[in-house]
Structure 1
Amino acid sequence: MSYSSKYILLISVHGLIRGENLELGRDADTGGQTKYVLELARALVKNPQVARVDLLTRLIKDPKVDADYAQPRELIGDRAQIVRIECGPEEYIAKEMLWDYLDNFADHALDYLKEQPELPDVIHSHYADAGYVGTRLSHQLGIPLVHTGHSLGRSKRTRLLLSGIKADEIESRYNMARRINAEEETLGSAARVITSTHQEIAEQYAQYDYYQPDQMLVIPPGTDLEKFYPPKGNEWETPIVQELQRFLRHPRKPIILALSRPDPRKNIHKLIAAYGQSPQLQAQANLVIVAGNRDDITDLDQGPREVLTDLLLTIDRYDLYGKVAYPKQNQAEDVYALFRLTALSQGVFINPALTEPFGLTLIEAAACGVPIVATEDGGPVDIIKNCQNGYLINPLDEVDIADKLLKVLNDKQQWQFLSESGLEGVKRHYSWPSHVESYLEAINALTQQTSVLKRSDLKRRRTLYYNGALVTSLDQNLLGALQGGLPGDRQTLDELLEVLYQHRKNVGFCIATGRRLDSVLKILREYRIPQPDMLITSMGTEIYSSPDLIPDQSWRNHIDYLWNRNAIVRILGELPGLALQPKEELSAYKISYFYDAAIAPNLEEIRQLLHKGEQTVNTIISFGQFLDILPIRASKGYAVRWLSQQWNIPLEHVFTAGGSGADEDMMRGNTLSVVVANRHHEELSNLGEIEPIYFSEKRYAAGILDGLAHYRFFELLDPV
C-alpha cells in the first residue's frame, strides 16, 4: 500500500461493541475501552491517510443481549466497520472466561484476513486478551503489532487484593496468571505500546519483565469537543444554576469548581480547608464541589460516606455556609454546563487529588476555556506542560493551593491568557484529530521502517509475583538520615533506594510508620524519597498501595473488631499525664496521646483500666513520650503479616528494619530483622535476648544495607 492509504486492524475482543447506543456501564466489560476503540476507528477514517479500518470483536448470539452483537459486519462510517469473529461459546461471557477460546478467535481472524484483497499495514490490540490474539496474528502474518493495555494485570491484582479477595481466588476467578503472561508476551512482541501518560509507563508498565522504554509512546485519548466547548453566554439560565443558588449567597462570583468521586484520594477536605483558611479566596470566589450523586449519605458505602461526612464537617468548621455549594444530584448535561458557567464567571477548575493517573476532567475544563490548578503528581504534569493553562500544586499544602487559585483569579489578563492557551492546547494535543495525527506519525514510521525498535536482552523473573519484601520504618531509618544527619547519609540513602530499584520486580518495598498518610506523602515529596509499593500508616491501622494510594478496605474491616473509639477516649480522658495529640495525628483507628511518664500511670495500669472498661485494644508507647491506642488486631507487626499473606511471601523472605519501640512487634517472629543505630535503638535492646535479630552498628540507611548484607537477603530470594 502507498504511504497515504493505510489499512488498520483494531482488535478489542471482549465487551458489547456496536456503532450506536453503546451500553456503557452495563457491566465491568462495557466501559471506557469500548468507547475509546469505537471513537478511534471513526476518527482514523476521517484522516485522508487512512483507507480502511476494521474493528475486530467477538460475535455474540445470546437472547440476553441485543441482536446487534450477532451481526458479522456493521458499518460505522466511511471506510470503517465492525467485524465480529466467532470465539468459543455463542453466549455473552465475562472477559475472564475467554482465555480458553482466544486461539479460536485468532484462527477465525486469520481466516478472515486471508480472504481480504490485501493485509493490514498494522495490527492494534486493546487489552490483554486482544494482545494475545494480536501477537499470534502479527507473528503469522509478519505485520507490526501496536498495543494499548487500558489496564494491566499486575496493578489489577493489587487492587483486588486490597478489596479483600484472596490470592488463590483471584487466580481462579480472574485467570490473573494467564493475563499477566499474555501481557508479558505482548510486550515482548509489540513494536509500539501506546499509553495516555508518562506516569502510566513509569509506574505500571515498568513492573513487567519485557518492558522496554523505547517501545512506549504517549498519545493521550481525544476529547469530545462537541460536548465540551466555551460558554455561549446563556449559561446563567441553565437548570444547574437554580441548584447552586440554594447554597450560595452571591452566586455570580467567580466559581472554583471541583469535580470528582467521593474518594479520600481526591483530597476534597484539603481543598475546603485551603478555602476556609483564606479570607481573600472566600471574598474572591465561591467554591462548588460536585462529588457524585446521593440521596442519603448514610445509605452510601463506608468510603464515600466518610468523605462526604468529612466534607460537611469541614465546611462547618470554617463556617463556609453561603460560600460553598455541594449539590446532591447532577447529570452529564449539568457537568457540561458547570464547566461553561465556570468559564463565564472567570473562575478556575481544580483537581487537588493526592495522585491523578490521567486527568480527563482537566482536559474537559480546558476545552471549555477554564484555567486549571492541579496536583503535581501524575497526568496533570503532562497536561499543563502541553496546554500552558494553569498551575501545579502540592496537594498537601493548603497555602500553596490557595496561592495558586488566587494567582488565577486575581489577574484578569492572565486569566484570559490561560483560558485561550487551554483552548488551543486541547485542540493541538487532546482532540481526536490531534490524536490521529500523532498516531499515524508513529504508524508511518513503523510501516516505512524508519523507526525500528532495538530490543534489549530481557528475561522473565523466576516467579510471577514478588518473592520477598523489605519493610522499614520512616523517621528513624530513612528520615533520620536527612534531618541533621551526617553529609554522607543522603548518599547512603540513595544507594539503598538504588538497590531497591534494581530488585523492584522481585522485592516489594514497604514503609511502616506511625504517621498519617498525608504526613507521610508530604515527607516523601520534601525529601525526594520515591513512593514505596505499600504504605503502612497510622501505626499499622491503614494500608495503602502505590501508585494510586488505594486503601486496603479488607484490612480496615478486619481491624474493626471490638473497636469502640468513644469509650476509649472517655475512659482515658481524666488520667494525669495524658493529653490528646492534635487532630492531624489522629485517625479512625488510632487514638494518640502525649505521654508524660513522670505523672501518668504506667502502661500496664493503663491496660488494666481499659480492660476493666471492657475495651480490648493494643497499647504502644514509643520514643518514651507517645501513647497510641489501636484496635486489638492492628499494629505494624500485624499489618506486615497481613501483607505477607496477601503477597503470598513467606515471613522468612520478609526483611524488616526498625529503630524504636514502635517497631518491635514487626521485628519479632520469623521475619529477618535489623535494628539500625540511632538515638532510640536502645528501646529494642531487649529483643536481642529473645530473637535472632541483627543489631547494626551503622546508622539509618547504612544500617539497612548492612542488615541486607548480613542476611545475604537478595541471594536468599534468588539463589544462583
Structure 2
Amino acid sequence: MATPKLARLPSIRDRVEDTLSAHRNELVSLLSRYVAQGKGILQPHTLLDEIDHVFPDDEAKEMLSSGPFGEVIKSAQEAIILPPFVAIAVRPRPGVWEYVRVNVFELSVEQLTVSEYLGFKEALVNEQAQDRFVLELDFEPFNASFPRPNRSSSIGNGVQFLNRHLSSSMFRNKDCLEPLLDFLRAHKYKGRGLMLNDRIQSISRLQSALAKAEDYLSKLPPETPYSDSEYVLQGMGFERGWGDTVERVLEMIHLLLDILQAPDPSTLETFLGRIPMVFNVVILSPHGYFGQANVLGLPDTGGQVVYILDQVRALEKEMLSRIQKQGLDVTPKILIVTRLIPDAKGTTCNQRLERVSGTEHTHILRVPFRSEKGILRKWISRFDVWPYLETFAEFHHVCTTIVFSNLHLSQAAFSITAMLPAIGCCSPSLRDFVNSALTLHLLSWPANPCLLPLFVVPLHLSDVASEIAAELQALPDFIIGNYSDGNLVASLLAYKMGVTQCTIAHALEKTKYPDSDIYWEKFDEKYHFSCQFTADLIAMNNADFIITSTYQEIAGTKNTVGQYESHTAFTLPGLYRVVHGIDVFDPKFNIVSPGADMSIYFPYSEKKKRLTALHDSIEKLLYDPEQNDEHIGMLNDRSKPIIFSMARLDRVKNITGLVELYAKNDKLRELVNLVVVAGYIDVKKSKDREEISEIEKMHDLIKNYSLHGQFRWIAAQTNRARNGELYRYIADTRGVFVQPAFYEAFGLTVVEAMTCGLPTFATCHGGPAEIIEHGISGFHIDPYHPDQAASLMVDFFQQSKEDPSHWKKISDGGLQRIYERYTWKIYSERLMTLAGVYGFWKYVSKLERRETRRYLEMFYILKFRDLVKSVPIASDDPH
C-alpha cells in the first residue's frame, strides 16, 4: 500500500493562475469590468455583483463561482484598482490574510506581501509617491516567542489557552513552578505580607509546608475561623489570604497541591483567580459628561457611561465577596476617573468626587483638562481631546504668584484656598499645604508677621496620577481603560506604575468610517483619526489583556472583518504603514459580555416589581397631544402595538433609517405605531455635528411622509428607572424593540430590552448578531436592506396578531438567552479571574513585554506626540 503524501495547499496566486488557464475569456471579462470602473476601492458586494453581469448564463456563473477563483472572490474584502492592475485582499478565514495582484493587460499574477499590498494601495492617494523609506509599524517580532492559538474558534478565549500553556509548561518542566512560588511570596497589601512568608524558600519546602498545614487543618471543624489558626499557620510559612474558614483554606491548599503535582488548566485558573490581588481598581473614561443623573443623551454620553456604572456596582460586590472569603480585613476601592467640566450644564460633572449610588467604596473622581491657556471649562467632542490627555494623565509643577497688599494671615489663607478650584487644584489636602506654607513664610518674615505684602505659592497642579495616589493612599492594583482616550491614559498610567492593564474599546472608530485610514486626510480636520488610530494601536499593544463583548468585535464573521482585526494591517499614507498592528489570535483577547442592571431592567411579567407610579408620566410621553421640545408627533390609534427604539441620534445609530423604513412600508404603518427616543428635537439645542444633520433629516421625514398620527419622537431620556418601565410598557402593548444601527459593537439597549421581555429586532452588523439567536430569541435585520427588515417585522406582527403565543415565544426566548449569557454577576466573576491570571502572566513574562513597551514608548514620543500638535486647542469664551 502506498504511503499517503501531504499535499501543499494551493496559494492564492496558484488558484488565480489555474482559473486563468481554465477560464481565460471569462476571467478577462470579469477583471476588465473591475478595471473599467477606474482607480478606487471595490467592496465585496461589488466584486460579487459583477459576476452576475459577466455571466448571464447560470451554468457558467456557477462554474466560475464554485471554482478556485470563485473562492478567492467570495473571501475578498476589497480590491484596489489602479489600471491595468487589480490587487485583492483575501481573507480565507478570520485573522488570516493573503494578497494577490493581477495585471489584466498582460494576464500576469503575483503574490504580494502585506507591505507591498499597502504600498500599492497608497498609490490611490498619491501615485507619484515613491519614497522607499516609509515608517512601518510591526509588532510581530516582539510576539514571536509568545504562545498563541491558531484556530479561529480559539479567538476570544485567551485565558483558556494561556492556562493550558502555563499548566503544560509546569507539567513538563518543574522549574517553571518557581515563578509561582516567587509570585506568592511577593504578595503584599500596604506592606503586610499575604499568602507566604520568608520561611518558605523553595518548592520542596512549599510542598512540605502544605502537607503539614493540610494535616493540621483537617482535624478542625470546617467552619473554624482562620484567625483561630493564624499563629500556627504563620509558623509554617503561611500568611493571610488563603481563606476565612478552615474549609476554604483547605480548598486553596488542595488546589495548590494539585498544581504542584500535576497542573491542569482548570485548577490553575481557579487557584490564580482566588489569590488576593485586586483591592484598588481605577477605571478611565475621560470624554463626555460622566455622571449619574441628567447626562444620558448629552453629546458623547450614552452606553459607555451606563456600562461603567453597572460594571462598578457588580465589581464592588464581587470584590467584597472575594475579600471576605479570602479572610482579609481590607476595604476595596474603585475610582472612575473622568474629566471635570466646570461648565457642567446642570450635571454633577463639575464636582471633584462623587460616590456612585448603590455602592459603598466606589467614587467618580474628576480631574480637569488643562493646556497652557489654563483649565478648559466647556465640553469638547471626543474627537478633540488628544492635546489634553498627556497632562491629564501626568502631573506638572506650576509656580503661582499671588500678590497681597497688607493682608492678614487669616485673610491670605482664605483667599488662596478659595481660588484653588478655579486654577484646578481640587484636592482638599492642598488647604493643609497652603496653611503650612504660610506658617513657614511667617517664620522668615522679619516685619509684622501677620501682614503679607507679597506671597509666592509653589503649587503642584494635580492630575490623574497624583489624584489617584491621594485618594487610594496606594498604587492601584488594576487599571481598566475605556474607549480610545481612556485606553491611552490607562496605558500611560499602567506603564508608569507597573500595574496590570485591561483595555475595553467599546467602539473602534476605524470600522465605523469606511476608508478612514487610506483617506485619513479627508477626515482629519473634523475627526483627527490620525491621532485616534495611533492611540488605539498603542493602547491595544500595551494592554495586558483586552476584553470585548463579542467575538465579532475581535475577528468579525466569516464574511466581515472584526473591529480589532481591521487594525492588523492598514496604512495612513504620508504618516506610517502598519504591517502587523495587532494579532487577533493573541491570547490577550477575551470575550466577557456585560448585562443589564436587573434592579432596573426586569421582565414585564413581574407585576409586583412594576413601577406603576410612573405610568402616568410614560403615557404623557407617548400620547400627550402637546407638541414641544420633549415630544412631537401623535399616535391616534392607541390599540396598536408599538415599534420602539432608543439611541443617540447619530449617523451610525441609524434612527432616521428606521423612521424611513417604517414610513415607506404601508402595511407596517397599518399594523403598528412607531416611537423613537433620540437626541434633541430642536436643532438649536445641539452642538454635535452629526446630531444636527440627523435632527434635520428626522424633521424632513416626518413632513415628507405625513407621519403625524402614527409616529412619536421623544427627546433623549435620562431617567433610567423610567426607561426600564418604558420597555415594559411597550411590552404591554405587545410591541417590539428595534436596534437599526449600521454597526453596533455590542448592543446594551438590546440586552436591556430582552431583559424586560421585549421581543427585539437588531442589526446583524456587530454584537447583536451574537446576542440574538435569529428566530429563537429575537431577529437579525440588515440596515443596508431596509425593505427586507420591514417585511420581517410585518410578518412578525401579522403572525402575532393571528397567534398571540408567537409574541410570547420570542419574548421568553430572549429572557432565557439573557439569563444564560448576559448578566453582570457572570461578568464581574470573570473579570476578577482574568485580573488574577493575567497578573500572574505579567509577572512571569515581564522581561519579554519590556521590549514591546520600549518600542511603544518610542512610537508614542516620535509619532503620536507630533500628531497631537495638529489638533487645535479648544478655547472657552472670553468670560
Counterparts of 1:301 and 1:116, CA distance in 2: 42
Equivalent residue, structure 2, for 1:310: 701
Secondary structure of the 1:217 match is strand
Secondary structure of the 2:644 match is strand
Equivalent residue, structure 2, for 1:491: none
Q: Does 1:182 align with 2:541?
A: no
Contact 1:125 1:146 in 2 (8 A): yes
Equivalent residue, structure 2, for 1:326: 712
- In the alignment, residue 443 of structure 1 is paired with which amino acid? A
Equivalent residue, structure 2, for 1:435: 827
Contact 1:272 1:314 in 2 (8 A): no
Equivalent residue, structure 2, for 1:251: 638
Counterparts of 2:356 and 2:715, CA distance in 1: 37
Identity over aligned pairs, percent: 25
Equivalent residue, structure 1, for 2:317: 46
Q: Does 1:241 align with 2:619?
A: yes
- In the alignment, residue 55 of structure 1 is paired with which amino acid? L
Q: Does 1:372 align with 2:760?
A: yes
Equivalent residue, structure 2, for 1:219: 592
Counterpart of 1:98 (choices 372, 388, 398) is 388
- Within 5 A, what are the aligned runs for 1:78-93? 78-82=360-364, 91-92=375-376
Secondary structure of the 1:9 match is strand
Q: Does 1:193 align with 2:546?
A: yes
Equivalent residue, structure 2, for 1:655: none
Counterpart of 1:385 (choices 769, 773, 797) is 773
Q: Deviations over 1:656-687 (max 9, x none)?
A: xxxxxxxxxxxxxxxxxxxxxxxxxxxxxxxx
Counterparts of 1:416 and 1:451, CA distance in 2: 51
Counterparts of 1:301 and 1:112, CA distance in 2: 37
Contact 1:19 1:38 in 2 (8 A): no
Contact 1:363 1:430 in 2 (8 A): yes
Contact 1:60 1:92 in 2 (8 A): no
Secondary structure of the 1:417 match is helix
Aligned residues: 450
Counterparts of 2:750 and 2:694, CA distance in 1: 24
Question: Could you say if the C-alpha distance between residues 198 and 413 of structure 1 is closer, same or farther in structure 2, counting changes exceeding 3 Å?
Answer: same
Counterparts of 1:59 and 1:375, CA distance in 2: 32
Equivalent residue, structure 2, for 1:626: none
Q: Does 1:210 align with 2:581?
A: yes
Counterparts of 2:343 and 2:617, CA distance in 1: 40
Structure 1 residue runs without a partner (length 5+): 465-720
182-191 vs 235-244, greater mean Cα deviation: 235-244
- In the alignment, residue 310 of structure 1 is paired with which amino acid? L
Secondary structure of the 2:761 match is strand
Question: Could you say if the C-alpha distance between residues 8 and 201 of structure 1 is closer, same or farther in structure 2, counting changes exceeding 3 Å?
Answer: farther
Counterparts of 1:123 and 1:330, CA distance in 2: 31
Secondary structure of the 2:279 match is strand
Equivalent residue, structure 2, for 1:527: none
87-96 vs 347-356, greater mean Cα deviation: 87-96
Question: Could you say if the C-alpha distance between residues 119 and 419 of structure 1 is closer, same or farther in structure 2, counting changes exceeding 3 Å?
Answer: same
Give the TM-score of the pair, scaled to structure 2.
Answer: 0.42
Query: How far does residue 105 in structure 1 lie from its aligned partner after superposition?
Result: 4.4
Contact 2:683 2:692 in 1 (8 A): no
- In the alignment, residue 272 of structure 1 is paired with which amino acid? Y
Q: Does 1:342 align with 2:730?
A: yes
Equivalent residue, structure 2, for 1:276: 666
Equivalent residue, structure 1, for 2:184: none
- In the alignment, residue 770 of structure 2 is paired with which amino acid? D
Q: Deviations over 1:591-614 (max 9, x none)?
A: xxxxxxxxxxxxxxxxxxxxxxxx
Query: How far does residue 381 in structure 1 lie from its aligned partner after superposition?
Result: 0.8
Secondary structure of the 1:145 match is strand
- Within 5 A, what are the aligned runs for 1:637-648? none
Structure 2 residue runs without a partner (length 5+): 1-193, 195-240, 242-273, 324-330, 397-462, 556-561, 568-579, 626-633, 861-879
Counterpart of 2:812 (choices 397, 417, 420) is 420
Query: How far does residue 165 in structure 1 lie from its aligned partner after superposition?
Result: 9.1
Cα root mean square deviation, aligned: 5.1
Counterparts of 1:227 and 1:255, CA distance in 2: 21
Question: Could you say if the C-alpha distance between residues 191 and 9 of structure 1 is closer, same or farther in structure 2, counting changes exceeding 3 Å?
Answer: same
- In the alignment, residue 14 of structure 1 is paired with which amino acid? P
Query: How far does residue 45 in structure 1 lie from its aligned partner after superposition?
Result: 0.9
- In the alignment, residue 830 of structure 2 is paired with which amino acid? S
Query: How far does residue 4 in structure 1 lie from its aligned partner after superposition?
Result: 5.6
Question: Could you say if the C-alpha distance between residues 255 and 165 of structure 1 is closer, same or farther in structure 2, counting changes exceeding 3 Å?
Answer: same
Equivalent residue, structure 2, for 1:37: 308
- In the alignment, residue 109 of structure 1 is paired with which amino acid? A
Q: Deviations over 1:434-478 (max 9, x none)?
A: 3313322322332354999999x9999xx99xxxxxxxxxxxxxx
Question: Could you say if the C-alpha distance between residues 73 and 301 of structure 1 is closer, same or farther in structure 2, counting changes exceeding 3 Å?
Answer: closer
Contact 1:262 1:307 in 2 (8 A): no
Contact 1:260 1:291 in 2 (8 A): yes
Query: How far does residue 10 in structure 1 lie from its aligned partner after superposition?
Result: 1.9
Query: How far does residue 146 in structure 1 lie from its aligned partner after superposition?
Result: 0.8
Q: Deviations over 1:542-561 (max 9, x none)?
A: xxxxxxxxxxxxxxxxxxxx
Query: How far does residue 326 in structure 1 lie from its aligned partner after superposition?
Result: 2.4
Question: Could you say if the C-alpha distance between residues 78 and 271 of structure 1 is closer, same or farther in structure 2, counting changes exceeding 3 Å?
Answer: same
Counterparts of 2:678 and 2:540, CA distance in 1: 37
Secondary structure of the 1:385 match is coil
- In the alignment, residue 229 of structure 1 is paired with which amino acid? F
Q: Does 1:57 align with 2:337?
A: yes
Equivalent residue, structure 2, for 1:294: 681
- Within 5 A, what are the aligned runs for 1:116-195? 120-152=476-508, 154=510, 169=525, 174=528, 177-195=530-548
Counterparts of 1:308 and 1:73, CA distance in 2: 39
Counterparts of 1:121 and 1:386, CA distance in 2: 41
Secondary structure of the 1:326 match is strand
Secondary structure of the 1:325 match is strand
Question: Could you say if the C-alpha distance between residues 360 and 143 of structure 1 is closer, same or farther in structure 2, counting changes exceeding 3 Å?
Answer: closer
Query: How far does residue 282 in structure 1 lie from its aligned partner after superposition?
Result: 3.5
Counterparts of 1:84 and 1:335, CA distance in 2: 27
Question: Could you say if the C-alpha distance between residues 411 and 83 of structure 1 is closer, same or farther in structure 2, counting changes exceeding 3 Å?
Answer: same
- In the alignment, residue 388 of structure 2 is paired with which amino acid? L
Counterparts of 2:685 and 2:343, CA distance in 1: 38
Q: Deviations over 1:624-643 (max 9, x none)?
A: xxxxxxxxxxxxxxxxxxxx
Q: Deviations over 1:321-341 (max 9, x none)?
A: 86x232566745675444222
- In the alignment, residue 228 of structure 1 is paired with which amino acid? Y
Counterparts of 1:237 and 1:64, CA distance in 2: 31
Counterparts of 1:150 and 1:439, CA distance in 2: 16
Contact 2:369 2:376 in 1 (8 A): no
- In the alignment, residue 322 of structure 2 is paired with which amino acid? Q
- In the alignment, residue 57 of structure 1 is paired with which amino acid? V
Query: How far does residue 155 in structure 1 lie from its aligned partner after superposition?
Result: 5.7
- In the alignment, residue 753 of structure 2 is paired with which amino acid? A
User: In terms of Rg, which structure is larger?
Assistant: 2
Equivalent residue, structure 1, for 2:603: 230
Of structures 1 and 2, the one scoring higher in RCO (CA 8 A, sep 6+) is 2
